[in-house]
Amino acid sequence: MAELTHSNEKNTLWTRFVAGLRSIPPIYIIVIILLIAIGTQNPAFLEPAGFLNLLRRSAPLMILAAGQLFVIVTGGFDLSVGSIMSLTVIGAALLINNDPANTWWVILVLLGIGVTVGLLNGLIVSYLNVPSLIVTLGMLLTLRGAGLYWTGGAPRGYLTDNFRIFGRGWIEPFPLVDRLPYAVAVLIIVSGIAIYIFHRTNLGRQLLAIGDNARAARLAGVPVERMRIVAFIISAVMAVIAGILQGGFGGVNPEAGRGFELQAIAATVLGGAVLLGGRGSVATAIAGALALEALFTLLNLLGLPKPLRDAVQGFIIIGAVAYAAYRSGRSR
């Protein structure tokens, strides 16, 4: 009898353990596996300084993915974020005009441009009923063309040190880790605000309700059009912040944000967001972005030639996103 009781207790503990493992979002396990794989290639990456460097490089994509999630859960896409990042870098370099005193008002202007772009995207999608894919693709091309026209197609201007500090500067001394990248500090603050807004306020619940069933949400009193506009504004503002970090990290480059829009969408889907809307989490979207950056780092450490590396990256991203979409389809 005692043996039977003991066996039942063991089974219960094992069942709880397995249930606990299954409750962990798969993206966290993927991140851990990738970090271990990176550590086998270069153990320095797993030291505090190496890991903080990885977070610093990943911060623009992680912030971008958090913003993209607000649009995706409503059932939309925002393809314009990469061009917003590029325009942020180009605009900052030209408007600052080599004078550090101009940095702060220029950042405010760039954030205002982000709000305007997000507002335009949201208004057209919400009130003209144009699919977000078409609207934001058009905005992507418009902003890219405007940026090239503004610069003449070549890097112009200079990013001052007090602008670039957000992407490449360090806070030091800092407790426990000696020094902390400004980009990681910005990432923590922005992520915390995004998680609070999405998971702790009525705004997040309303966005999820719209993505799940827009008609039912409208009947329940949710201002569908206004909420969609807010989602696009948040995404665009996040893109400006990501552009500021990317500019600080990589300097003036008219194509600083090229390709980031697809990576941000892939990151949110890897994080468990449903492409048709109605489900998603800011924390797992951010983890999805970290997984992508860790994957890129691992392929680089393995010494794959760039063409092959790009092909492998694309294949893995497509496979992961297709698998995530397949799983979400089965769970509905």
Q: Is 281 exposed, middle or buried (0-12, 13-18, 19+ CB in 10 A)?
A: buried
State residue 205's pLDDT score.
Answer: 93
Contact between 131 and 193 under an 8 Å Cβ cutoff? The reply is no
Two structure tokens written together for 233: 């504004």
Q: Is 331 exposed, middle or buried (0-12, 13-18, 19+ CB in 10 A)?
A: exposed
Query: Within 10 A of 15 (CB to CB), how many other CB atoms are there?
Result: 10
The residue-averaged pLDDT of 3-27 equals 71
Instruction: Render pLDDT for 115-142 as a digit per residue (tens, 0 to 9).
Output: 999 999 999 999 998 999 999 999 999 9
pLDDT for 329 beyond 60: yes
The residue-averaged pLDDT of 290-298 equals 90
The confidence band for 4, taking pLDDT boundaries of 50, 70 and 90, is low
Rounded Cα distance between 99 and 102, Å, is 6
Local structure of residue 46 (DSSP, 8 states): G
pLDDT for 72 beyond 70: yes
Query: Within 10 A of 302 (CB to CB), how many other CB atoms are there?
Result: 12
Cross-strand partners of 279: none
Two structure tokens written together for 190: 């922005």
Q: To 10 degrees, what angle do helices 103-127 and 132-151 make?
A: 150
The confidence band for 320, taking pLDDT boundaries of 50, 70 and 90, is low
Residue among 105, 93, 106 at smallest CA distance from 158? 93
Query: How much is the pTM?
Result: 0.89
pLDDT for 33 beyond 90: yes
State residue 324's pLDDT score.
Answer: 64
State residue 31's pLDDT score.
Answer: 92
Query: CA distances (Å), 58 to each of 41, 53, 68, 97, 263, in order?
Result: 19, 9, 15, 28, 11
How large a percentage of the chain has pLDDT more than 90? 53
The confidence band for 86, taking pLDDT boundaries of 50, 70 and 90, is very high
